[in-house]
Amino acid sequence: MLPMVSFLIYSNQYSIDVVRNQVAQSNNNMLNLYMGLIDMTLGDIDNYLLKFAAEETGLYILDRPPEVDIDRYNLERIWLFTELKDNATYYQGLDYFFVYSPLNQNLLFAPKLTSSVYSDNDFIKDAITNLMQDEQAMRNYRYDKWSVFHVNEQAYLLHTIKEGNLYIGAGVNAEDVMGPLDLLDLGTEGRSLLVDGSNAPLQDEAFFNEHHIDLAYSSDSYLLTGIDKKYLVIGEKSSKGEFGLVAVVPDQNILEKLPYLQRIILFIATGSFVILLIALYFLRKVILLPINRIVVAMRKIKEGYFEARIPDKPASNEFELMNKTFNSMVSDIQQLKIDVYEEQLNNQKAELKQLQLQINPHFFLNSLNVVYYLAQEKKYELIQELSHSLIRYFRFMFRSNTVCVLLKDELSHTESYLNIQKFRFPDSLTHTVSVKDELLDCCIPPLIIQSFAENTIKYAINTDEPTHIDIKIWRSDVFPDDKLHIQIRDSGNGFSEEVLQQLQQEINLTNEEGEHIGIWNARRRLRLLYGDQASIAFSNDNGAVIDMIMPLSKEMR
């Protein structure tokens, strides 16, 4: 419907613009014709003034004091008055001719016999005299153009030429010039009028101020103006003076001339638009809002908020059934997720126990073998010391099926393990442990440090030169929450490039012989216990370096 309604509205608006352009063009042609006639009349008056100034030899008499020859002066005034008055009858729209002598400050005023100023012309004479005596005004006066001249509330078109020291001019009543334009059909509120050079109206000024009509016309286009743009303004500028001819046509009169079909189109477009709004309202109420409630609930569930439900609001039978089914399905999924989560927890606990048990028998045979060789050498004190370390070691192993142990217990167990290994590799193994006392009560996964110490013994130690194991533990402040940073490094040859690359890519290195099972166990346990909150990194720095970061916790799991 939207394309159809848009096309109908565009078609109707286009038709309105076409009619306006046609009306504007028609009236503009008419104004151009009338302005041509007015300019022609004014041109004839201009020609007469020039001819009069050039041929009347008696004008110089008026440009000298009367005392030189008072009789001739009076006779010449009578003669010029009679000639101007008789010739004024030949020019349509002309009201008067005048000749003004600045020297004598005397005005010769010759009104047209049929003009409106013939019987009462004193105020016009006074106005012309005041204008001629205004030196500033006459200095800026355009002698080549007709100008607008206001006398009381009446507007005249005035043209003055200067011959010697005399001013010779003519005045045309603006209302008389506008007479033929009354035949234009501009409607009851339409107007045709003259405007001055600043587009101010010369007639009916109150009407234009009341309706806020802007008369700033353009000769090649029209202007919509006034309150709610109800008036179309067309104009034509005069070539003879600083004024123009303007027609103001009510837009309502123009639109009344539109074809009946255009009104039907506007009615259909308006009706279709109203129907569309009503349809959109019911579409939103019956379909879009129920769908939006479902979408909102689905987004919440996608974000993990399984308590979200579609609110129970009035809807069609289909949506009510859909909402009930959806809520029931979400409840079942929530319960199923709880059950699966509990099952996963149980599986994780079982897997943790299994991973820990995989480490327990790893050291047993090597320990018995060391005791055997010490017994052959009859080193009973060393056997006692080794046995004590073995007791502590296996006691820890038997209780290490818990999820977490204290850091001090893990370090004590690692010390026992390393002391046992020193019996196997005398003068080839040293170790240091650096940790603050405040961290000794922290909880960590069991055997997480001892596994990497054992890995060093297995792959890094040799009898040619001593191997040192350095264990450092500190609180890491680079994360939003406090983390425990455990670093284990040795002075061996480090990881091979192939093994290091696989470790960094988290590739499982275990094989049938059980190699690297300690590394895999440690990584797996950290992930099961802490998820993304823990990490383990491998690198080489004059030996192998293992960095483990995990949440700093003092609560036993």
% of the chain residues with pLDDT over 90 = 13
- For the chain, the helix, strand and coil percentages under 3-state DSSP, each to the nearest 5: 55, 20, 25
Q: Which fold has domain 56-176?
A: Beta-Lactamase (3.30.450)
Indicate whether 254 pLDDT > 50.
yes
Indicate whether 544 pLDDT > 60.
yes
Residues 6+ apart with CB under 8 A from 168: 49, 52, 53, 59, 97, 98, 99, 160, 161, 162
Residue 360 confidence class, pLDDT cut points 50, 70, 90:
very low
Query: Averaged over 114-136, what is the pLDDT?
Result: 78
Average pLDDT, the chain: 82
pLDDT score recorded for residue 440? 92
Q: What is d(CA 93, CA 96) in angstroms, rounded to the nearest whole number?
A: 10
- Per the model's pLDDT, the better-predicted residue between 542 and 379 turns out to be 542
Q: What is d(CA 276, CA 374) in angstroms, rounded to the nearest whole number?
A: 99
Indicate whether 328 pLDDT > 80.
yes
Q: Are 551 and 483 in contact (CB under 8 A)?
A: yes
> pTM of this prediction?
0.47
- Joined together, the tokens standing for residue 58 give 């008696």
pLDDT score recorded for residue 512? 56
Query: Averaged over 41-54, what is the pLDDT?
Result: 91
- The two beta strands, 106-111 and 94-101, are antiparallel
Least confident stretch, 159-168, 347-356, 370-379, 449-458 = 347-356
pLDDT in tens, 505-529: 877 766 655 556 677 778 887 887 8
pLDDT score recorded for residue 117? 47
Indicate whether 341 pLDDT > 80.
no
Q: Do 348-551 and 2-36+178-255 fall under one CATH topology? A: no
% of the chain residues with pLDDT over 70 = 88
Indicate whether 54 pLDDT > 50.
yes
- Joined together, the tokens standing for residue 21 give 């352009």
Query: Averaged over 40-54, what is the pLDDT?
Result: 91
Residue 98: closest CA among 169, 162, 165: 169
Q: Give how far the C-alpha of residue 377 lies from the chain's centroid of Cα atoms, to the nearest Å.
A: 89
| Amino acid sitting at position 289 | L
Least confident stretch, 50-59, 160-169, 342-351 = 342-351
Residue 167: closest CA among 146, 138, 147, 140: 138
Q: Where are the domains of the chain?
A: 2-36+178-255, 56-176, 348-551
Q: Give how far the C-alpha of residue 67 lies from the chain's centroid of Cα atoms, to the nearest Å.
A: 85
Query: 2-36+178-255 has which CATH code?
Result: 3.30.450
Collapsing DSSP to helix, strand or coil, 231 comes out as strand
pLDDT in tens, 421-440: 888 788 888 999 999 999 99
Indicate whether 275 pLDDT > 70.
yes
Homologous superfamily, domain 348-551: Histidine kinase-like ATPase, C-terminal domain (3.30.565.10)
3-state SS track over 481-504: CCEEEEEEEECCCCCCHHHHHHHH
pLDDT score recorded for residue 548? 93
